[in-house]
Amino acid sequence: MTLTNLTAQIRSKNSYLCVGLDTTLEKIPPSLRTGPDPIFEFNRQIIDATMDLCVAYKINTAFYEVMGAAGWDILARTAAYIPSTHLRIADAKRGDIGNTSHQYARAFFETLDFDAVTVAPYMGSDSIRPFLEYPGKWTIVLGLTSNEGSGDFQQQPMGQGMLYERVIEKVSGWGSPDNLMFVVGATKASEIASIRKIIPHHFLLIPGVGFQGGSLKDVSQAGLNEQVGLLVNSSRAIIYASQEEDFASVARQKAREYQSEMKSYL
């Protein structure tokens, strides 16, 4: 998916919502758990209920990898079910020496045909460049995360700024706003303004709105740019808004609330 196509989707739907499919058997409605394919069926109904209100889906691969081969099969079928009009993100946080990253890139961009994959920048340019070699695909680099441990390294002083600022500045030169995004946690809204000074034109993937306490208003005011420039992800707050048989309709209602608020900021 190109930048033009992504921006057009956002404008046509008045939404920059990304729905996270971090699905676990223990949290889906009991009525589905006894079925032959419960997790895929749950994902299918969530996608059907929300596709007109969002522009992207993010699949955290850990929730599928834990199930072994069966989980990878569910992941692949879920990714294939997502409409091609939507950005399909593999939240895999990969990154290794060059030849290994080439295999990761092939796995997610060729075998599974995702549009985007999250990567960790700690090992440097040769661990990320293989992902950037795919036209029409997006590499989403961890910038400033919302977990408590982000202070261990990311927020340590380095020169005149913080390490995360140096990382974002350095990595931004390896790609362009057409193929490179950055992850910034929603609980770091106060830092988004300074990040925008470093990368005014890149898209930011913002997880953490909802259960993690991030404010959609705060991240929107700080992060929107002339191309919109934001994908705001919500996972649990949408897909687990109800654990009863009405889960899909309640998920739709919650997604519509986000979309309505987003429309007011565009």
Residues 6+ apart with CB under 8 A from 221: 265
- The backbone torsions φ and ψ at residue 93, rounded to the nearest 5 degrees and listed phi first, read 50, 50
Give the pLDDT score at 211. 66
Give the pLDDT score at 212. 67
Structure tokens at 219: 């991240």
Residue-wise pLDDT tens for the chain (266 aa)?
999 999 999 999 999 999 999 999 999 999 999 989 999 999 999 999 999 999 999 999 999 999 999 999 999 999 999 999 999 999 999 999 989 999 999 999 999 999 999 999 999 999 999 999 999 999 999 999 988 899 899 999 998 899 999 999 999 999 999 999 999 998 878 899 999 999 999 999 999 886 666 789 999 999 999 999 999 999 999 999 999 999 999 999 999 999 999 999 99
Give the pLDDT score at 28. 96
Overall domain count for the chain: 1
**What is the pTM for the complete model shown?**
0.96
What CATH number is given to the structural domain containing 253?
3.20.20.70
Is-catalytic flag, 93? yes
β-strands 138-144, 116-119: how paired? parallel
Give the pLDDT score at 218. 92
Q: Which of 13, 27, 58, 93 is catalytic?
A: 93
Axis crossing angle, helix 247-265 with helix 216-223, rounded to the nearest 10: 40
- Give the structural domain span for 217: 3-265
Question: How far is 130 from 132, CA to CA, in rounded Å?
Answer: 5
